[in-house]
Copies of this chain bind each other. A is one copy, B any other.
Amino acid sequence: MIEERRERADAARNRRAILRATEDLLARHRPEQISMEQVAAAAGVGKGTVFHRFGSRMGLMVALMQERAYALEEAVASGPPPLGPGVPPEERLMAFLDAIVDVVGRNKGLLAALGHAATAAPRPEWKEHGEHRDEDGDHPVYRFWHGHTSALIAARRPDLDGELLAHILLGSLQSEPVLRLLERGETMRLAASLRVMASGMLAAPAPALA
């Protein structure tokens, strides 16, 4: 078919520099006050380059997030239990939630930045660079998290609205107060409460009626 043209060496170098710089700034400053210009400067490239590579603020954040979440995705698909396959859904769900809390905890800034970026999708429709911007408007990482969560819920409780319950469970991680908690390092506390929530849900009586 079409011959995939390899990415040029300098381009690759720059991409990594930009990602690194973003990571760095994210660790040091509040995400909403990091401008693309700052990122460019910190990476030692022109602003134009940043946009050329990532399309938009959102694109940058999504790319970074994807990188961060990759390991988890692997572990779930083909790693050892309880994250990977081989144990009952309930157990996997708990492990998965713990893992997500962990990832989120180590990337609070990014999460917030993503949320912020979601807001800022002005005019153009982004035809090229179209890796993100799918039917749902969510980034692939969230897509995967939600898909897995809702599948696990459905496996144990097909009578519940797994789709939505998964959104509720995951959505809570994006809320300001919860992020603040993570910032204070209370990861365990969050994980514990999420478990309560999830296990309670799996054991809940069937909904009142259809």
Q: Which residues of A contact B (CB under 8 A)?
A: 32-33, 115-116, 118-120, 122, 136-138, 146, 160-161, 164-165, 167-178, 180-181, 189-190, 192-197, 199-205, 207-208
Q: Which residue of B lies closest to A137 (CB)?
A: B176
Residues of B within 8 A of A171 (CB): 171-178
Q: Which residue of B lies closest to A146 (CB)?
A: B177
3 pairs of A and B residues whose beta carbons are closest in the complex: A171-B175, A200-B204, A200-B200
A161 smallest CB distance to B (angstroms) = 5
Choose among B33, B178, B207 the residue that contacts A192 (Cβ–Cβ < 8 A).
B207
Can you spell out 8 A-B residue pairs with CB atoms less than 8 angstroms apart? A164-B178, A164-B181, A171-B176, A172-B172, A195-B207, A196-B201, A197-B200, A200-B203
Please tell me how many copies of the chain the complex holds. 2
Contact residues of A: prevailing secondary structure: helix
Residues of B within 8 A of A200 (CB): 197, 200-204
A161 near B189 with CB under 8 A, answer yes
Choose among B120, B175, B193, B197 the residue that contacts A170 (Cβ–Cβ < 8 A).
B175
B161 near A168 with CB under 8 A, answer no
Given the complex of chains A and B, what is the CA–CA distance between A189 and B164 in angstroms? 8
Choose among B118, B136, B193, B205 the residue that contacts A199 (Cβ–Cβ < 8 A).
B205
A176 near B32 with CB under 8 A, answer no
Residues of B within 8 A of A192 (CB): 161, 207-208
A49 smallest CB distance to B (angstroms) = 26
Residues of B within 8 A of A138 (CB): 176-177
A175 near B167 with CB under 8 A, answer yes
Residues of B within 8 A of A180 (CB): 137
A172 near B168 with CB under 8 A, answer yes
Choose among B169, B189, B203, B204 the residue that contacts A172 (Cβ–Cβ < 8 A).
B169
